[in-house]
Amino acid sequence: MNFFYELEKYSSNTAVITEQSKQVSYKDLLDAADNIGKHFHKRSLVFAVCKNCFESVAGYVGFMRAQAVLFLLNETLDNILLYIYLRLINLNIFIFQRKNPGHNSDMIAYLLTCMPW
């Protein structure tokens, strides 16, 4: 059994505390994670450009629950170089963005996934 499928037993416990001190339960984390993960097939190749934010955690958990092959990339990675590299290895690129209202910087979490043509 995959560890990420055993998290439901902690549903009422706090999973994440955001920078705004909001407590997010495992139930809410798993709802967000499964909402992301449902778009990916087992063994999908996923490059996740991560920040220190709830969306990156939810993406990570969702990808692991979907049994995707996951590469975590730092947000400071040059996006143009990443794009060129991924195009050289002939992958199609999908980018999902979610803006977080209420954040001073209108932070964006990037989830970048690559699927073969």
CATH of the domain at 12: 3.40.50.980
CB burial of 46-78 (b: ≥16 within 10 Å; e: otherwise) equals: bbbbbeebbbbbbbbbbbbbbbbebeeeeeeee
DSSP 7: G
Domain count, the chain: 1
For residue 30, give its domain range. 3-116
**pLDDT value for 1:** 53
User: Would you state the structure tokens that stand for residue 13, as one six-digit string?
Assistant: 């416990």
User: Count of residues for the chain?
Assistant: 117
pTM of the model: 0.73
**pLDDT value for 116:** 39
Q: Are the CB atoms for 7 and 43 separated by under 8 Å? A: no
Query: Average pLDDT per run of 10 along the chain, which is 117 residues long?
Result: 85 92 94 89 81 88 90 79 70 50 36 40
Instruction: Give the amino acid at 27.
Output: K
**pLDDT value for 46:** 81
